Structure 1
């Protein structure tokens, strides 16, 4: 059975499922390499407009597999320090690939998202959680740093610095209700409604212009690194002009409203 499943449950929507439920979808290299490759595959599929990521069974992803980590590819002849570097580079690459997809990514957090699993959820553009979901920055519980795979960058930007410090330094669980309250997830739904909620959002997004959606995603991520409001507004303005001047989308939207119908954006 493959460790990563790719399905297309709705038109223009890809579902990627981490499929190692007996290990709570832990981040063994045997799972992360095919997950990275699956992300690249759906990212290059021009029929896919939105990607949903979830975990099989009762967990989203339990982080590093401390018992059966699998084998890092391409390490023959390397010493332990270099193998460690290659290991972290591979996992970092997974997060960068997830964040860098052209398509919006929705994390359907169906259960515990622990350590690296929390990082995967935060690298997604949108997080919708089941009411059974929990989050934990677990590195500090294991005598390590809680900061890994971009967590100390992504978490403060998602929920604010003070909350991020408290959660990462305490190593405590954040349940679904608190995650919803502090903005770690966009909303919480009953577990049996989770994928339907993600698909509903995905289908709404697929109705809009492809460059409009992709540039909106880019602008949102870019804003987190912007040096100033003025600099970012210049960036936004160029993106808006690009779509306005190179497509007939705006004219189609106006005509559709006049005719009381959904717009058909052909970009």
Structure 2
């Protein structure tokens, strides 16, 4: 993949299996805290990867003991001194990076290996699926530093995952949500055994890669779009168009032929 040739200072990319790329936040000495440089690189990496036709799944994780500690407070001293437009530019730079991650056409699996705080929680929420290590923990730390949990999509995504009452309590208190509670309330899909997080994420990625690329991508598109569509009829219309489109691809006839011939299908995503 051409995207893997690009050098980054705050991230690393590795193709670990055909179609599967691990994207690692790589500032372990700062608990992978976000900087403007990271926002720019994260947006660039997501946009570049989205152009890779052979890409099937992205696994997003953090180097070292943390997933992401949120915005690096060492860079935050000057925020209060920015003018309104400069602060808006700052906010939009960060938001573009996270939107780019969420908007990648293939599934994104967050392998949350440690603390995901503030913007780190927001980043984990951008993923389609979240797996957690036993030591993973989450908090909407914004209110603890004089900011709002209405940041980087947190208020929209967290509410849809855990419900408005639970999201409100997490947002208003800024308390820590540990892995077991995160699984119970639906913030994460599952908790891995100690040391097994990345292996579990890659095993899940492998199961996704086995399926029709077009089917997976249009499934993601439908799931995302129908979170925002206000009626059942509109959702059905979108689904109908997706199914009609996929019957024109080579993968559906291949799946039917493989079923009849009692073999595994060979999908091409064409």
Which residue of the partner structure matches residue 8 of structure 1?
15
Matched, 1:238 2:241: yes
Report 1:63-82 matches (<5 A).
63-68=70-75, 80-82=83-85
**Which is further off, 153-162 or 26-35?**
26-35
Corresponding residue to 1:222 among 210, 221, 225: 225
Matched, 1:123 2:159: no
Contact 1:29 1:71 in 2 (8 A): no
Q: Deviations over 1:62-92 (max 9, x none)?
A: 00111135999xxxxxx63222111100001
Q: Deviations over 1:220-249 (max 9, x none)?
A: 1111111111210111111011101x1243
Matched, 1:212 2:215: yes
Matched, 1:257 2:259: yes
TM-score, structure 1 normalization:
0.92
Deviation at 1:54?
0.6
Distance 1:191 1:215 in 2: 34
TM-score, structure 2 normalization:
0.91
Distance 1:29 1:93 in 2: 11
Aligned residues: 261
CA RMSD of aligned residues (A): 1.9
Distance 1:251 1:31 in 2: 43
1:71–1:142: structure 2 CA closer, same or farther, 3 Å change rule?
closer
Q: Structure 2: give runs of 5+ residues left out of the alignment.
A: 1-7
